[in-house]
Amino acid sequence: MIVPAFNEEAVIGRCLEALLDQVVPADEIVVVDNNSTDRTALIAGGYADRGVRVVHEPRQGLVPARDRGFDEATGDILGRVDADTLVEPDWVLRLTEAFADPGVSAVTGPSWFYDAPMHRAGLAAQRLLCHRVNRMLSGHPMLWGSNMALTRECWQELRAHACPGPDLFEDLDLAIHLHRLGRRVHYADRLRAPVSARRLAGSLGGLRRYLRTWHRTYALHDQHRAAAGARVFTATGLVLLFPPVALLLRAYTPYEGTLSPRRLFARSTTAVRPIP
């Protein structure tokens, strides 16, 4: 299992605990420290006696960190999550079941926000916006970087085709190249890995800059109709969905599960959802 990490001291411990608390244990867990200036590497290194290995990638960026992790891993199945992911206890088991089909090259699944209210609604929204919409736009399955895995043999072929970034959705880039290589991506709905809502809890400008990469990734691969569709969905979401979601997250107290109107007027409510 590979976990790219840059300045993730607030969340890396919980992520590793979830990866270690599996009904079927992972063969290995590799944390790729990407020049963190906080205690990320120190915290991850504290799990060395439980089989977690920390490697350092000096080239800055998610793509170089991801590639280093895939290259360092020794297993036949290369799982990949983000540092704010909390996989469910049967995550490794579900991966094993999915890859029992020899025709499957990659597996992905849904997520929801563990530090936001209405988990079922979040799960349904993630299925729709991240998986079904992208499949409609591109004509092939999407990969979700916070919850995915490849076979080693697939990565060895895919590596030469994957784009170096930095201004792209690296998981969408992989999905596009897998489709072009004729590789099968399997969507496993029971392979679930909740993530933090920290990006949605940030500023509108920051979210807009992040989502701008969506249509740019399609355009980079000459999928211009998909790029136009991504622009429309992005603009619609920012106008119609971001304001009420942002207010809901601001009023919500993560990990306590309560809504407090007083938090709407607090100076800052982002400390528990840090964005690197």
Please indicate, yes or no, if residue 255 is contained in any of the structural domains.
Answer: no
> Two tokens at 222?
């000459």
Mind listing the pLDDT tens digit for each residue in 63-112?
Answer: 999 999 999 999 999 999 999 999 999 999 999 999 999 999 999 999 99
Tokens 């990949």 — which residue? 80
Reduce the DSSP state of residue 270 to 3 states and report it: coil
Q: What is the pLDDT along the chain (276 residues), one digit of tens a residue?
A: 999 999 999 999 999 999 999 999 999 999 999 999 999 999 999 999 999 999 999 999 999 999 999 999 999 999 999 999 999 999 999 999 999 999 999 999 999 999 999 999 999 999 999 999 999 999 999 999 999 999 999 999 999 999 998 899 999 999 999 999 999 999 999 999 999 999 888 889 999 999 999 999 999 999 999 999 999 999 999 999 999 998 888 888 876 777 777 766 666 544 445 443
Give the pLDDT confidence score for residue 271 in this predicted structure. 43
Query: What Å distances lie between residue 210 and 45, 139, 205, 227, CA to CA?
Result: 30, 23, 9, 15
User: Can you give the residue range of the structural domain that contains 186?
Assistant: 2-199
Please indicate, yes or no, if residue 265 is contained in any of the structural domains.
Answer: no
User: Cα–Cα distance between 129 and 131 in angstroms, integer?
Assistant: 6
Give the pLDDT confidence score for residue 179 in this predicted structure. 97
Please indicate, yes or no, if residue 135 is contained in any of the structural domains.
Answer: yes
Give the pLDDT confidence score for residue 272 in this predicted structure. 47
Please indicate, yes or no, if residue 53 is contained in any of the structural domains.
Answer: yes
Entry pTM: 0.92
User: Cα–Cα distance between 238 and 42 in angstroms, integer?
Assistant: 37
> Two tokens at 179?
């489709």
CATH of the domain at 79: 3.90.550.10
> CB–CB of 90/23 below 8 Å?
yes
Query: What Å distances lie between residue 262 and 171, 250, 267, CA to CA?
Result: 38, 10, 11
Please indicate, yes or no, if residue 222 is contained in any of the structural domains.
Answer: no
The torsion region of residue 200 among left (phi > 0), alpha (psi -120 to 50) and beta comes to alpha
> Two tokens at 144?
């979700």
Please indicate, yes or no, if residue 239 is contained in any of the structural domains.
Answer: no
- Interior CA angle at 270 toward 268 and 271, to 5°? 95
Reduce the DSSP state of residue 98 to 3 states and report it: helix
Give the pLDDT confidence score for residue 250 in this predicted structure. 83
**Into how many domains does the chain fold?**
1
> Residue 196 burial (CB < 10 Å; 0-12/13-18/19+)?
buried
User: Cα–Cα distance between 104 and 266 in angstroms, integer?
Assistant: 49
- Determine the angle formed by the axes of helices 204-220 and 242-251, rounding to 10 degrees: 130
Please indicate, yes or no, if residue 271 is contained in any of the structural domains.
Answer: no
Cα-atom radius of gyration of the chain, to the nearest Å? 18
User: Cα–Cα distance between 213 and 28 in angstroms, integer?
Assistant: 32
Please indicate, yes or no, if residue 136 is contained in any of the structural domains.
Answer: yes
Sign of the dihedral defined by the CA atoms of residues 248, 252, 257, 259, in that order:
negative
Give the pLDDT confidence score for residue 264 in this predicted structure. 67
